[in-house]
Amino acid sequence: MKQLSLETINIRYPPQNWLHLYTDGSLISREQGAGAGVTCCLFSLYRSLGYGTTSFDGEIVAISESLRNILCHINKFKNVVILSDSKAAILSIVSKHTPSSQTAEITKTHSQLISLNKRIVFQWIPSHCGILGNENADALAKKVSTATYRPVTKSTYYSVKRFIKSTYLDFNKQNLITQSQGKKWNSLHHNPQLIPDLPRNSSVAAFRLATGHDCLAKHLHRIGIYQSPNCPLCNSNQEMDSEHLKICASVAEHNIFEKYWSARGGHFGCQKKAAIVAACPLLQPNFCCGVYTPHGVFCSLLPESTNP
């Protein structure tokens, strides 16, 4: 990746004709706020943005500062390429639909440079793959953690939106961790890989097996629908759960997700439906129109809010 990127930069923008200007934004913590870093052969700088700013703000300010500063070196270059690892920042600058005060300032400085017969190009580069200029700009942006002065920056609409979203997600995650203590699905917080990025039916099976809400005999027995927790397929007198599925002699499939769907269908599926119908005092004997939901059968006689 590094080699490919450097080749592209050097072929498209030969250093003898182009000034290579690397910019980067970084956010270490919400309290410290974001930092902006800029480096090229003419100057290097960094800037702290203050509390409540985002890494996106850092990227935008880095580009804005880079353009403002090359105005001080106007006779030393003809063409400039701004190399940023933020697609979002570049797209935001070139977008005509959502201009902000920050991007408007960049557009203004850009026009000023164009009027001085300078050529300015924005180029995205991959981050953290060892491109020296990008690594240096990143290190400068991270200097914000040691900065003693932190300005009070007026937050943009985008930053406020990101701030509210991240605060809500943090609160929600903490709440879920508290509520899941002692439960089987607590492991999902520490290992999200338990739910693989596979086709929907496999991911659904993985989720149900990981949480224990799998509608197998043990689960149905626990919630009072099934009379026995034991596996009705192999008659081994073992409780039917995710562990049993791995060794159940009546489920031939090799893959655990296929085993799950195989066990859920066929004989067990019919038994389960009959058990639910028998357990529901409201269902009529001639009931035949139940629709399976992830938790059982939809009972048309129960109020909608009380259905499982």
3-class SS letters over 30-42: CCCCEEEEEECCC
The verdict on 217 binding Zn ion (CB under 5 A) reads no
Nearer residue to Zn ion within complex by CB, 137 or 248:
248
Closest approach of Cβ 274 to Zn ion, in Å? Answer: 19
Site for Zn ion in 244-263 (CB under 5 A): 248
The verdict on 206 binding Zn ion (CB under 5 A) reads no
Show the tokens assigned to 193: 């890989």
Question: Alpha helices, DSSP H only, in the chain?
Answer: 2-12, 55-70, 87-94, 101-115, 132-142, 157-179, 187-190, 200-211, 217-222, 242-247, 256-264, 266-279
The region of 47-55, 108-116, 176-184, 230-238 touching Zn ion under the rule CB under 5 A is 230-238
The verdict on 234 binding Zn ion (CB under 5 A) reads yes
Nearer residue to Zn ion within complex by CB, 40 or 251:
251
Distance in angstroms (rounded) separating the CA atoms of residues 50 and 35? 8
Nearer residue to Zn ion within complex by CB, 135 or 239:
239
State the binding string over 261-290 for Zn ion (x if CB under 5 A, else -).
------------------------------
Site for Zn ion in 24-43 (CB under 5 A): none
Residue-wise DSSP of 167-202:
HHHHHHHHHHHHHTTTSGGGHHHH-GGGS-S--HHH
Q: Amino acid identity of 290?
A: G
The region of 93-101, 132-140, 224-232, 291-299 touching Zn ion under the rule CB under 5 A is 224-232
Closest approach of Cβ 231 to Zn ion, in Å? Answer: 3
Inter-CA distances, 31 with 24, 172, 189, 200, Å: 19, 20, 25, 40
Nearer residue to Zn ion within complex by CB, 27 or 240:
240
The region of 67-75, 144-152, 196-204, 229-237 touching Zn ion under the rule CB under 5 A is 229-237
The position carrying tokens 């009546």 is: 250
Closest approach of Cβ 251 to Zn ion, in Å? Answer: 7
CB of 49 closer than 8 Å to CB of 35 = yes
The single residue among 231, 275, 276, 280 that binds Zn ion, judged by CB under 5 A, is 231
The single residue among 106, 233, 297, 299 that binds Zn ion, judged by CB under 5 A, is 233
Show the tokens assigned to 184: 């089987």
Closest approach of Cβ 141 to Zn ion, in Å? Answer: 58
Cβ neighbours of 131 (radius 10 Å): 21
Q: Is the sign of the CA dihedral 279, 280, 281, 285 positive or negative?
A: negative
Nearer residue to Zn ion within complex by CB, 140 or 217:
217
Which residues partner with 80 through β-bridges? 19, 120
Closest approach of Cβ 236 to Zn ion, in Å? Answer: 5
Q: State the number of binding residues for Zn ion (CB under 5 A).
A: 4
Q: Amino acid identity of 112?
A: Q
Footprint on this chain of Zn ion (rule: CB under 5 A):
231, 233-234, 248
